[in-house]
Amino acid sequence: MKQLIIISVILIAFNTNLFSQNIDKILSEIETNNTTLAALRKKVEADKIGNKTGIYLQNPEIAFNYLWGSPAATGNRTDINFKQTFDFPTTYSYKNQIADIKNEQVDLEYHQLRKDLLLKSRLICFDLVYTNSLKIELSKRLSHAQNMATSYQKQFDLGETNILALNKAQLNLLNLSNEMELLNIERNVLLGELTQLNGGIFIDFTASEYPVTVISENFEQWYQQQEQSNPLLNWLKKEVEISQKQLSLNNALSLPKFEAGYISESVVGQEFQGFTVGISIPLWEHKNTVKYSKANAIAVKNLETDRKLQLYNHLKTVHQKVIELQKNTDEYQSKLQLFNNVNLLYKALEKGEMNLIDYIIELSVYYESVNKLLELKRDYHKTVAALNQYL
């Protein structure tokens, strides 16, 4: 080959990020601007008020009677009645305690929904890191392909190469250009999803590096942290507390209710005043409620045990997957750097030891390997994000 092919050197720069962004800062912005979370916060306020209703004394009753006497000489009669009914005193304490626990559950439900939404946002950010890093790689490849196509066009014009080599260089450029266009479409879709989550406010996410993540290989130690901060498990713990408090409440509701009040009666020449007290006999109204509460408390406790076991086994499987992905990614990257033949391929092409078609085929194998490494990194960090979403 008489003329030196101007070719761009293909470099792997996995740790280079010209526009690094703090993903946690972006997630904080999304948490502030997201309309779904704003609506959920309002619902939390309403639900907390709702949980505090119906836990106080019944309304007092006031009655006034005016009766005309007959015959008229009998005179008229006036009655005034004031009456207050109340349950056994411990009832109100248990109702208030249950309301407080339900309000804690409301916070936990919001916390879980918030974490789910932020996880969705984080995964989109990781997809964008992947597309941005791949775009950097494709830009280098595209520049290289453009230089090759230009060089072969000049050689063809000078009669130093044939149309087959020129067409192959042009097809290589065309394929890489199309790949870049498709990647830009995918990136714009991801940016649109991120904008939607950010309340319609655009975020130009340009980061091409993942945040540093460290997962302990000791699953039991790691799980202890996960168990303490998991909102679902904490919600179930509160549900167990509620079932126990509900049992105590139903026991209290099965005790007699009391009634106390003031009575005044006036007739011609006479006036009577005094107090009235009463008690209800708990025979039928709350039949089986205590029995049901005991059965429900046992069922809720068993449900908590079952969910905890399911979560433990699920997280253990995912944790093992993360450890294996991490080792696989590190090993793949190390070997890819060791087996990098890009410079050797270029020298072989330059010296005429390899034709253009073979060069492009060999180079595409390396490109596919780089793409595979980028995919491995993306999958690893997305799995870690899902694993650590409640920490």
pLDDT tens-digit profile of 84-138?
A: 888 888 888 888 999 999 999 999 999 999 999 999 999 999 999 999 999 999 9
Closest CA to 94 of 55, 121, 128, 65: 55
Q: Is the pLDDT of residue 33 over 90?
A: yes
Highest mean pLDDT among 12-26, 34-48, 140-154: 34-48
Tokens of 132: 């941005």
CB atoms inside a 10 Å sphere around CB 157: 10
Q: What is the third-level CATH fold of 23-387? A: Outer membrane efflux proteins (OEP) (1.20.1600)
Query: What integer pLDDT is reported at residue 391 of this predicted model?
Result: 67
Q: What is the pLDDT of residues 188-212, one digit of tens each?
A: 999 999 999 999 999 989 999 998 8
Query: What integer pLDDT is reported at residue 250 of this predicted model?
Result: 85
Task: Please enumerate, as own/partner, the contacts of 299-306 that have beta carbons within 8 Å and a separation of 24 or more.
Answer: 300/236, 300/239, 300/240, 300/242, 300/243, 301/240, 301/243, 303/236, 303/239, 304/233, 304/236, 304/237, 304/239, 304/240
Query: What integer pLDDT is reported at residue 106 of this predicted model?
Result: 95
Tokens of 162: 């044939």
Looking only at the bridges linking them, the beta strands covering 77-86 and 258-267 are antiparallel
Q: Is the pLDDT of residue 1 over 60?
A: no
Q: What is the pLDDT of residues 210-263, one digit of tens each?
A: 988 878 888 888 888 888 888 888 899 999 999 999 888 888 888 888 888 888
Query: What integer pLDDT is reported at residue 3 of this predicted model?
Result: 37
∠ CA 182-186-190 to the nearest 5 degrees?
Answer: 165
* CA 222 to centroid of chain Cα atoms: 20
Residues 6+ apart with CB under 8 A from 301: 240, 243
Helix (H, G, I), strand (E, B) or coil at 85: strand
Closest CA to 35 of 191, 195, 166: 195
**Entry pTM:** 0.82
